[in-house]
Amino acid sequence: MQLMKIQSILFSLLIIVLLCGCSSLNINSAAEKENIQNIVNKANNSKLILLDVYHDRCETCKFIEPAFEKLQSDYSQNPDIVFLKYDLSNPFTVLRSRKIAKALGLEQIYKLQRYSGIVVFIDSKTKQVVDSLIGESNIEIYNKIIEEKLKGSA
């Protein structure tokens, strides 16, 4: 009997959270739309997109995360490169990521990413995958590919 009460309470809480339109879950808010538009503008003016396919329970993702964050920091002032994260952790992050993909014209690339722990290099102009790395944490390998792709698209 107690188990049924707990299940009922948890179900009720879930319904409330889903229906409340909490701003942290509201991916249709004006601020979120503006954020997506800023990402689109930056990506459209860049040459290369690095897409980190991520899941919060993925050990490989945790292994490569420091390298990806270092790259983001190192290239933060370079307008030719944009860093995106396709977060597969839950339905809300997947939906947000797919909204960005749709706005960028990268829906097909996102749909093909079924596994996490992968970094995909995408040409911003052609919207084509130009390289990818699986479970790589060596920053020098990323830098080599980035410099090669940026020089090739100059």
pLDDT, averaged across the chain:
86
7-18 residue pLDDT tens? 777 666 555 555
Average pLDDT in the 26-33 region?
75
pLDDT category of residue 33 using cuts at 50, 70 and 90 = confident
**Measured CA distances, 104 to 17, 36, 39, 45, 72 (Å):** 30, 9, 9, 11, 19
**Each residue's pLDDT tens digit, 52-79:** 999 999 999 999 999 999 999 999 999 9
pLDDT of residue 21: 45
Q: Is the pLDDT of residue 133 over 80?
A: yes
Spatial contact of 130 and 139, defined as CB atoms under 8 Å apart: no
Helices (H), the chain: 2-20, 30-44, 59-74, 91-104, 107-112, 139-152
Encode pLDDT of 73-121 as tens digits: 999 999 999 999 999 988 888 888 899 999 999 988 888 888 899 999 9
Task: Kindly report the pTM of this predicted structure.
Answer: 0.78
Domain positions in the chain are 29-152
Token readout for 46 is 């860049």
Report whether 99 contacts 67 (CB < 8 A): no
CATH of 29-152, one of 3.40.30.10, 2.40.37.10, 3.40.50.1580, 3.30.70.580: 3.40.30.10
